[in-house]
Amino acid sequence: EAQVTQNPRYLITVTGKKLTVTCSQNMNHEYMSWYRQDPGLGLRQIYYSMNVEVTDKGDVPEGYKVSRKEKRNFPLILESPSPNQTSLYFCASSRGRQMMNTEAFFGQGTRLTVV
Amino acid sequence: QQQVKQSPQSLIVQKGGISIINCAYENTAFDYFPWYQQFPGKGPALLIAIRPDVSEKKEGRFTISFNKSAKQFSLHIMDSQPGDSATYFCAASMLSNTGKLIFGQGTTLQVKP
């Protein structure tokens, strides 16, 4: 089954404690990205990757890091989480901008609470 | 700077009615306009999409209307059903650039039986 898998689904952590949210896709997609969803703000892109070892900032990158060492994985790292990073996070993948089909496939989401 | 503005924020419609969600964009370089549907506890999923060379696209009960000169597009859900209750996001993208999706703020639709 084609899917994007995120883990964990729910996470409560304390301010300053480093955490990683994993994301994996099994569709051989080139393009992967992370979004955060906040009420009234929609989905905002944090970081994206157009291929292995190629990453770039989205609209709200402050406080986040990513890496793309393998095509299928795109972890999101919060080195020192703060309460304003409490949000619902989504990983997404798509074939890539050159393809006609640009449908983005989203994971199930990770609900993060930083206290 | 919100490049894609979506309204209304929430919408309540009776079963069988028409649901209409509107979006406006600023950047004329956008060339791909999808709508995503999100059910509670799930990630968004592509519902329907349109490119600016057509003014309307219909898939079943869902229709996108596109007005290039006004830089607006809308989603119409005909014969709305309780199962359509979800959050809907419009988005815009430049396929010639990074393909990055820029989303609207979202509309929570409730269809009452």
Q: Which residue of A has its CA nearest to B40?
A: A108
Are residues A58 and B100, on separate chains, in Cβ contact within 8 Å? Answer: yes
Is the pLDDT reported for residue A101 higher than 70? Answer: no
Is the pLDDT reported for residue A37 higher than 60? Answer: yes
A–B interface: beta-carbon pairs under 8 A: 61
> Using 50, 70 and 90 to split pLDDT, how confident is the model at A106?
very high
* Amino acid B99: pLDDT: 63
Are residues B99 and A42, on separate chains, in Cβ contact within 8 Å? Answer: no
- Best mutation target, A3, A97, A111, to test chain B (most B CBs within 10 A): A97
User: How large is the average pLDDT for residues B11-28?
Assistant: 97
Mean pLDDT in chain A? 92
Which of the two residues, A60 and B94, has the higher pLDDT score? Answer: A60
Q: What is the pLDDT of residues B31-66, one digit of tens each?
A: 889 999 999 999 999 999 998 889 999 999 999 999
* Amino acid A102: pLDDT: 72
**Biggest CA-to-CA distance, chain B:** 43
Are residues B100 and A33, on separate chains, in Cβ contact within 8 Å? Answer: yes
Distances from the Cα of A110 to the Cα of A44, A46, A60, B14, B52, angstroms: 15, 14, 17, 32, 34
> Using 50, 70 and 90 to split pLDDT, how confident is the model at A107?
very high
Tell me the three state secondary structure of residue A85.
helix
> Using 50, 70 and 90 to split pLDDT, how confident is the model at A111?
very high
Structure tokens that stand for B64 in this block: 């996108």
How far is C-alpha A2 from the geometric centre of its chain's CA atoms? 18
- What number of other Cβ atoms are within 10 A of residue B82's Cβ? 10
* Amino acid B82: pLDDT: 97
* Amino acid A77: pLDDT: 98
> Using 50, 70 and 90 to split pLDDT, how confident is the model at B97?
low
Are residues B43 and A109, on separate chains, in Cβ contact within 8 Å? Answer: yes
Q: Return the residue matching tokens 């596109």.
A: B66
First CA to last CA distance, chain B: 38
Structure tokens that stand for B42 in this block: 């799930």
* Amino acid B100: pLDDT: 77
Residue B6 contacts A, CB cutoff 8 Å: yes
User: How large is the average pLDDT for residues A34-60?
Assistant: 92
Instruction: Provide, as residue numbers in chain A, all residues whose Cβ is less than 8 Å from the Cβ of B104.
Output: 42
Instruction: Provide, as residue numbers in chain A, all residues whose Cβ is less than 8 Å from the Cβ of B98.
Output: 48, 50, 56, 97
Structure tokens that stand for A17 in this block: 């404690």
Residue A33 contacts B, CB cutoff 8 Å: yes
- Best mutation target, B89, B105, B107, B108, to test chain A (most A CBs within 10 A): B105
- Best mutation target, A102, A108, A110, to test chain B (most B CBs within 10 A): A102
